[in-house]
Amino acid sequence: MCGILAVFGCIDNSQAKRSRIIELSRRLRHRGPDWSGLHCHGNCYLAHQRLAIVDPASGDQPLYNEDKTVIVTVNGEIYNHKQLREKLKSHQFRTGSDCEVIAHLYEEHGEEFVDMLDGMFSFVLLDTKDNSYIAARDAIGITPLYMGWGLDGSIWFASEMKALSDDCERFISFPPGHIYSSKQGGLRRWYNPPWFLEQTPSGSYDPIVLRKAFEKAVFKRLMTDVPFGVLLSGGLDSSLVAAVACRYLAESEAACQWGSQLHTFCIGLESSPDLKAAREVADYLGTRHHGFHFTVQEGIDALEEVIYHIETYDVTTIRASTPMFLMSRKIKSLGVKMVLSGEGSDEIFGGYLYFHKAPNKEEFHQETCQKIKALHLYDCLRANKSTSAWGVEARVPFLDKEFINIAMSIDPEWKMIRPDLGRIEKWVLRNAFDDVQKPYLPKHILYRQKEQFSDGVGYSWIDGLKDHANKQVTDAMLTHASFIYPENTPTTKEAYCYRTIFEKFFPKNAARSTVPGGPSVACSTAKAVEWDAAWSKNLDPSGRAALGIHSAAYEEAVDAKNKSSLSGSPKKLQGVGEKASAVV
């Protein structure tokens, strides 16, 4: 990942302003420690902090077209850049960077080229011929981008809020799948897939088509000129990423530079479910595995730094980001700069445990659509900023555009959890990789129950966070929380604790408005809380809050009704920890 900062329309274009832009850009240097660049054109500034993954030798940014009239600063990876270069043979390329195609595509197609890009990206482009500019963000919001407005009429774009919050009166999270055009004067959505309308699809389920689409998504993300690995929790999603990467690594260009043995990484408390499960999967796949430990106190000590980097006060995100943040530091110390991770699968396939209670396929599908649309505020934000804090890039094959389109076209009846038919959560994905002749994973891993990252690293992690918050926040403080924090009022001491830290770093009203709120159980949307009346009494984001479903559900909250319904629940599977090493 890189860090970008762009400012247009400044009244002041003095040397002092240039120095201020450089100072603000330095706040993003953790994202791109390899090189810094700045281009100034009148009252326009484009700054870049580079993490060199592809073409480390010559791909410094900002990037240009042939006569340097088009300047672009990019954070991301364009996986189909070689195919795009073939269509741009009349253009002269200066570097081997995958992002340089953006400048030349703009020359050929104007603003209507963004959908041609296959990858994850946030970019800002300046056309000096007419001083117009555009900014765009990838389809799902894998890479972060913020947009702000200064009192002097300037417009700002930055990878992280910390680079523009002090100098902008108002700022927002740039919406995924959108483009901003100075010519047209506003935002418009460039990403318009069929599933976005949330109408129930009726497509057939072909496990081979689904499997091949995912294998293709993983393979294209092996594009790298630096050491890399896979975040492996031992749960379904991360294990499939690792299994496919292992199977196809030898065919990739990366294997020529870094060998054909995959490195995998996991983190957890001592004796955590994930560490055990990840080791088992790593041994099965033959990876070079690195299991890291942390203590509850080490996690608590890192909370302030974590919240500063991830820029949210959402409880679920902070719980899961802290172990991922600590693990990313360890990974970087080994010289690794890029990792594959498993985010997105639970949203696409209804993998969270609360989906067991979906009343019908229509609501099931609508919930998956809403979850995908909100990923940029939760799991994508966590995966990107937790790793970028230490100059590590996370790539997420489940959020491949083509794979999402195929998966979301399947009739959701196939995704519904049906114990009577032997279908547990994410059955369509599990079944697609259930190859008897050439197994991808052992059966008990392939059919292991879902666990959230913050749970899988060790249940005492969440309990430790709650204990810490209870010591920091008094009953009176929580009682009066609505007066101190009238917007998105914290309802637990843990939430109050995180909010206090967040406000210290980001005190403006605009900052707190970038964080979503509302009731949730086991990572559900507010609407899905209505699926079970008991959930409204136990609004906790942990997967254990899915009463009567998780094998470690909060026993004190399981009443007679839930116990009786357990007889119809799917059989509990071996293993208990998903989404643990930053991998889902």
Q: What tokens appear for 133 in the block?
A: 């500019």
Collapse the DSSP code of 1 into the 3-class scheme (helix H, G, I; strand E, B; otherwise coil) and give the result: coil
Q: What tokens appear for 87 in the block?
A: 């269509």
Phi (first) and psi of residue 323, to 5 degrees: -60, -35
Pairing of strands 263-268, 228-231: parallel
Question: Strands across the sheet with 44-50, in order?
Answer: 35-41, 44-50, 3-8, 155-158, 146-149, 170-173
62 prior amide bond cis, ω within 30: yes
Collapse the DSSP code of 443 into the 3-class scheme (helix H, G, I; strand E, B; otherwise coil) and give the result: helix
Helix, strand, coil share (%) of the chain residues, nearest 5: 45, 15, 40
The whole-angstrom separation of Cα 345 and Cα 4 is 28
The one catalytic residue in 2, 10, 246, 380 is 2
The whole-angstrom separation of Cα 354 and Cα 546 is 6
The whole-angstrom separation of Cα 407 and Cα 350 is 11
Which of 2, 314, 305 shows the shortest CA–CA distance to 158?
Answer: 2
Which residues, in sequence order, are CB contacts of 123 under 8 Å at separation 6+?
4, 72, 73, 74, 75, 76, 99, 102, 135, 136
Q: Are 118 and 84 in contact (CB under 8 A)?
A: no
Residue 230 burial by CB count (10 A; 0-12/13-18/19+): exposed, middle or buried?
buried
Which of 553, 195, 542, 574 shows the shortest CA–CA distance to 352?
Answer: 542
Q: What tokens appear for 374 in the block?
A: 């909100």
The whole-angstrom separation of Cα 300 and Cα 303 is 5
CA angle 272, 274, 280 (to 5 degrees): 115
The whole-angstrom separation of Cα 452 and Cα 577 is 7
The whole-angstrom separation of Cα 46 and Cα 298 is 38
Q: Is 2 a catalytic residue?
A: yes
Residues present in the chain in total: 584
Which of 191, 76, 231, 51 shows the shortest CA–CA distance to 143?
Answer: 76
The whole-angstrom separation of Cα 415 and Cα 378 is 23
The whole-angstrom separation of Cα 548 and Cα 20 is 55
Q: Are 398 and 217 in contact (CB under 8 A)?
A: yes
The whole-angstrom separation of Cα 241 and Cα 215 is 9
Instruction: Convert 541-574 to b/e letters by CB count within 10 Å (16 or more is b).
Output: bbbbbbbbbbebbeeebeeeebeebeeeebeebe
Annotated active-site positions, please? 2
